[in-house]
Structure 1
Amino acid sequence: MPTVGYSSTQKSLHWALFALVVGMYLLTFGDDLFQRGDPDRALAWRLHISFGLLLTALVLWRVALRLARGAPTLPDSMTGFERAVAKLGHLALYVLLVAIPALGILLTWFRGDALTFFGFFTIPAPFAPDRGIAGSIREVHGLCANAILILAGGHALAALWHHFVKKDDVLKRILPRREPVTCFERR
């Protein structure tokens, strides 16, 4: 079901997911910044896991909204090729946004760790640790994390191209709107 534009909730989720993905990627550098056994290294990973669980919840909300509302119609100025690339790119972003947290959860459990959400609750691993499986999952998780950054970069470049070169409203549709507060609605 096509819609005219994104809702304010969809826009907020879009930018929150962007910030979380970038922030979580930066947290992975805790391995390089802190030595093994350093409490700050463990803190960086606990934060990564907690933000990953938050990302999971927000992605599920975003997917539910996308399924319920559909996507806004694309501008008439877009060619058939551009439309196909846009749809494929969005699909790939959604697949990665679901796969990365799922892999992260499995990785945590196969490492023998419990999931914890900022210390508010803990979900123990439902199976025994397996370092071999954990290592494989970690590689795929890392590859997917790199892929989403590359894909999101392409997504951003395409939006900027639409805005500055094609001069259509593709970028404006996802930006927060600042509307003046008025007492009366114009009809």
Structure 2
Amino acid sequence: MIRPAAYSHAQKVLHWALFVLVSGLYLLTYAEGLFPRGDPGRAWVWWLHISFGLLLAAFVLARLIVRLAVGVPEPDAVANRWETRLASLVHGLLYALLIALPIAGIILTWARGDSLSFFGIFTIPAPFAADRPFAQQVQEIHAFLANAIIILAAFHAVAALWHHFIRRDGCCAACFPAQ
């Protein structure tokens, strides 16, 4: 397969949509604290979190399909070998986290005995009985994965800004619209 000169428009849109979804979902978890236990607002926050989490899963799947169909540009020629390897490692970890995070969220929802609802459009009931101790373990894994993706995405963003504004090496040229 011939590698494209730049990321496709679809890849760029999916990249930024995933950024918004991951950031929004992370911030949404803190909205739970605005409501006391038993308040309907608290349940509404988790309903939104689950719905947007399912949307994230769909966008991750779309991003993987587009990546396989279109490919990705060659690493920048001016990048050092260690930079190219580090970038590949970070991208691989980000993809792994983008896959693992929604899966853990789905398992967590079901382990709590809740159904998956996608904005009320459809509902998928839990395929197994609630298991609170297991749910607690999965919640810890889900929280770890969420924190890991935020930290790794921040590292990714700092590296992109460093290449774009400090080194001005054109490393990010394939990622942004032509000017």
TM-score by length of 2: 0.96
CA contact (8 A) 1:30 1:45 kept: no
Segment of structure 1 superposing worse, 80-89 or 167-176: 167-176
Residue 102 of structure 1 corresponds to: 103
Q: Distance in 2 between matches of 1:39 and 1:171?
A: 45
Residue 122 of structure 2 corresponds to: 121
Mapping 1:35-114, distance limit 5 Å: 35-114=36-115
CA contact (8 A) 2:53 2:105 kept: yes
Q: Give, in angstroms, the shift of residue 66 of structure 1.
A: 1.3
Segment of structure 1 superposing worse, 70-79 or 19-28: 70-79
Q: Distance in 1 between matches of 2:157 and 2:31?
A: 27
Instruction: List per-residue Cα deviations over 1:43-95 (Å, max 9, x = no partner).
Output: 11000000000000000010111122222111111010000000000000000
Aligned length: 178
Q: Give, in angstroms, the shift of residue 143 of structure 1.
A: 0.4
Q: Distance in 1 between matches of 2:138 and 2:37?
A: 21
Q: Give, in angstroms, the shift of residue 40 of structure 1.
A: 1.1
CA contact (8 A) 2:114 2:125 kept: yes
CA contact (8 A) 1:75 1:170 kept: yes
For the aligned residue pairs, the C-alpha RMSD in angstroms reads 1.1
Q: Distance in 2 between matches of 1:47 and 1:123?
A: 15
Bigger radius of gyration among the two:
1
Q: Distance in 1 between matches of 2:174 and 2:22?
A: 21
Residue 140 of structure 2 corresponds to: 139
More helix by proportion, 1 or 2? 2
Residue 182 of structure 1 corresponds to: none
Q: Distance in 1 between matches of 2:53 and 2:174?
A: 27
1:112 aligned counterpart, secondary structure? coil
Q: Distance in 2 between matches of 1:25 and 1:170?
A: 28
Residue 158 of structure 2 corresponds to: 157
Gaps (5+ residues) in structure 1?
179-187
Residue 29 of structure 1 corresponds to: 30
Q: Give, in angstroms, the shift of residue 29 of structure 1.
A: 0.8
